[in-house]
């Protein structure tokens, strides 16, 4: 009787033995281009997600970066002050803007 | 009229890129980026893949996995919306709850799912609606995926329908809301909740705990995820922990704004004039990709090269895959696998070429579905702001030496 109890107790554990303990998603540092507003932008974006999530949107227009920054505040409630929007948008557009030759390739470390 | 002129221009400029020009003009759809390198950092339960972000994890499968009907778990693409993913699931205490307009609220353990309900298997393609988004110009909104934001696996689990029947859906219920255990950094941020009309639930939709005969990898939604064959993966909720039955649809950002395309005949728009009326992306477009050879591969003249790839659609099944080695003048039927994985799966194809002339050779493939849909040329695909539902005819250029 005791044996049967043990087997049934272990059954689900046996089925899920692929990973024991915690998984660890590696931390990846995405270097940001140096430019005016880099520190402010780094802090604000990286609070919630990696900078890879930003630069892998490709080179984008000023309107795009403004819309996304506003979306982070309005839709996702990111704690970014309205006064700081301009700094972030300027940094993103100046360094990851679509003004120059169109280029989707992004350096991934 | 404005739109017509816009796309007329797109067709004209496409030629210069095909010839190797680097100037890209607005409006033209090309092929997705195909030269991204594998990142030499392996994520949990994965081999090194093409990586776009670590928080949330975004991993793309390399082209060369697309030669077989099933995609290996450790090379299967990953896309999360929220960066806070539980790093440990206690399989003994994990529960999925079914609540809302039901006769009895359920809180089911994994053991309950495996012992109290019929166990079913289905092979189905999981594809991001933005797969190949980097083909759209000007740059569409979202991660600039190449062609590898997809995969196909054999999923095992229980039918959503059976769970709903067990709970007893009340009269007046119309919608299902799905929520997973991933969370945003700030508690004020809304969860990634998706909704589905109750009347769309069919026998193919399952809550899966197994993928290709193994536990789901953590990054693919361990221990349980929703499988909705034929639909893009935006509602295939990972680490699913809650299903709520409601009368009306909630106003949610991820339903109202994300994963939508213009609700007009061409399902297209221009950056200058976005279409206001939109609809969900839903059904997977007919598509195919060459897994071998890869761009720039060198092959010997007179060698028998077996071109391999996969084709799929929303579930009508693949009727034909055709291959061209003369830039689309002549098309030849490829050999298809036996189709044993079913109509929602990748259909592997192969076609042997025997190139005699030294120099560059472009191989193209296109799929035709049982529903009669055929892939368009990339340049004929029209723009939408989210860069969704790309399905241009794939091509690979190799060098015969």
Domains of chain B: 73-280 (3.90.420.10), 287-400 (2.60.40.650)
Range of the domain at A58: 23-109
- Tell me whether residues B214 and A108 touch, CB distance under 8 A: no
Q: Is residue A6 part of a domain?
A: no
Q: What is the pLDDT of residues A48-103, one digit of tens each?
A: 999 999 999 999 999 999 999 999 999 888 999 999 999 999 999 999 998 643 33
Residues B89, B254, A96, B385: is their CA dihedral positive or negative? positive
DSSP element (H, E) containing B287: strand B287-292
Chain A residues near residue B157 by CB distance under 8 angstroms: none
- Cα B124 to Cα B14: distance, rounded to the nearest angstrom: 34
Please check whether residue B38 touches A, CB under 8 A.
Answer: no
Chain B residue with minimal CA distance to A64? Answer: B141
Q: Is residue A72 part of a domain?
A: yes
Please check whether residue B112 touches A, CB under 8 A.
Answer: no
The interface pTM score, or ipTM, of the predicted complex is 0.85
- Tell me whether residues A108 and B52 touch, CB distance under 8 A: yes
Rg, C-alpha atoms of chain A: 22
Q: What is the mean pLDDT of chain B?
A: 91
pLDDT at B305: 97
Please check whether residue B252 touches A, CB under 8 A.
Answer: no
Please check whether residue B41 touches A, CB under 8 A.
Answer: yes
Q: What is the pLDDT of residues B11-25, one digit of tens each?
A: 333 322 233 333 344
Q: Is residue A14 part of a domain?
A: no
Return the ∠ at Cα B80 (arms to A57 and B95), rounded to 5°.
165
**Alpha-carbon distance B117 to nearest alpha carbon in chain A (angstroms):** 15
- Cα B268 to Cα B283: distance, rounded to the nearest angstrom: 16
Q: Is residue A63 part of a domain?
A: yes
Task: Nearest by CB to A25, from B54, B143, B214: name it.
Answer: B54
Please check whether residue B190 touches A, CB under 8 A.
Answer: yes
Helices marked H in A27-81 — which ranges? 38-46, 52-55, 62-74
Please check whether residue B371 touches A, CB under 8 A.
Answer: no
DSSP element (H, E) containing B15: helix B2-18
Chain A residues near residue B139 by CB distance under 8 angstroms: 57-60, 64, 98, 102, 104
Q: Is residue A61 part of a domain?
A: yes
pLDDT at A9 exceeding the cut of 90: no
User: Mean pLDDT across the stretch B349-370?
Assistant: 98
Q: Which residues pair with B183 in a beta bridge?
A: B84
Chain B residues near residue A7 by CB distance under 8 angstroms: none
3 state SS of B50: strand
Q: Is residue A1 part of a domain?
A: no
Q: How many CB pairs under 8 A join A and B?
A: 136
pLDDT at A17: 55
Q: What is the CATH number for A80?
A: 1.10.760.10
pLDDT at B34 exceeding the cut of 80: yes
Q: Is residue A12 part of a domain?
A: no
- Enumerate residues 6+ apart whose C-beta is below 8 A from A84: A40, A44
Q: What is the pLDDT of residues B82-128, one digit of tens each?
A: 888 999 999 999 999 999 999 999 999 999 999 999 999 999 999 99
- Tell me whether residues B44 and A24 touch, CB distance under 8 A: yes
Q: Is residue A43 part of a domain?
A: yes
CA trace torsion B173, B193, B233, A71 (10° rounding): 130
pTM: 0.89
Quote the number of domains for chain A. 1
């Amino acid at each position: 009787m005791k044996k049967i109890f043990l087997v049934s107790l272990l059954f689900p554990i046996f089925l899920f033995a692929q990973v024991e303990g915690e998984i660890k998603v590696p931390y990846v540092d995405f270097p940001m281009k140096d430019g005016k507003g880099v520190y402010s932008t780094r802090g604000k974006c990286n609070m919630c997600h990696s900078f890879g999530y930003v630069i892998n949107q490709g080179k984008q227009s000023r309107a795009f970066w403004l819309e996304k920054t506003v979306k982070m505040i309005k839709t996702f409630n990111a704690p970014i002050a309205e006064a700081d929007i301009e700094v972030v948008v300027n940094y993103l557009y100046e360094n990851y803007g679509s003004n120059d030759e169109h280029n989707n390739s992004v350096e991934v470390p | 009229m404005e739109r017509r002129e816009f796309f007329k221009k797109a067709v004209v400029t496409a030629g210069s890129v095909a010839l190797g020009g680097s100037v890209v003009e607005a409006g033209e759809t090309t092929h997705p980026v195909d030269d991204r390198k594998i990142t030499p950092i392996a994520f949990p339960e994965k081999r090194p893949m093409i990586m776009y972000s670590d928080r949330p994890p975004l991993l793309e499968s390399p082209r060369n996995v697309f030669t077989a009907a099933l995609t290996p778990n450790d090379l299967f693409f990953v896309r999360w919306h929220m960066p806070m993913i539980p790093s440990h699931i206690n399989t003994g205490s994990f529960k999925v709850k079914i609540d809302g307009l039901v006769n009895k609220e359920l809180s089911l353990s994994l053991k309950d799912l495996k012992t109290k309900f019929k166990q079913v298997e289905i092979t189905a393609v999981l594809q991001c609606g933005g797969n190949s988004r980097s083909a759209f110009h000007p740059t569409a909104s979202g991660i600039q995926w190449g062609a590898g934001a997809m995969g196909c696996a054999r999923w095992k689990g229980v039918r959503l329908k059976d769970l709903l029947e067990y709970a007893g859906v009340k009269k007046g219920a119309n919608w299902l809301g799905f929520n997973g255990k991933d969370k945003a950094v700030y508690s004020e941020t809304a969860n990634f909740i998706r909704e589905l009309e109750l009347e769309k639930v069919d026998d193919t939709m399952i809550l899966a705990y197994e993928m290709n005969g193994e536990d789901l990898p953590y990054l693919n939604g361990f221990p349980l995820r929703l499988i909705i064959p034929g639909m893009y993966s935006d509602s295939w909720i990972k680490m699913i922990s809650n299903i709520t039955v409601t009368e009306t649809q909630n106003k949610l950002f991820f339903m109202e704004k994300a994963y939508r395309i213009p609700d007009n005949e061409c399902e297209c728009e221009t950056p200058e004039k976005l279409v206001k009326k939109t609809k969900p992306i839903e059904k997977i477009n007919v598509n195919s990709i060459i897994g071998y050879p890869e761009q720039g591969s060198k092959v010997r003249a007179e060698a028998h090269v077996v071109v391999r790839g996969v084709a799929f659609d929303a579930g009508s099944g693949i009727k034909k895959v055709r291959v061209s080695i003369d830039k689309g003048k002549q098309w030849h039927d490829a050999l298809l696998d036996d189709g044993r994985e079913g109509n929602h799966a990748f259909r592997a194809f192969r076609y042997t070429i025997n190139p005699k002339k030294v120099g560059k050779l472009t191989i193209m493939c296109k799929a035709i579905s049982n529903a009669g849909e055929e892939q368009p040329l990339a340049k004929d695909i029209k723009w939408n702001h989210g860069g969704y539902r790309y399905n241009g005819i794939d091509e690979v250029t190799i060098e015969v030496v």
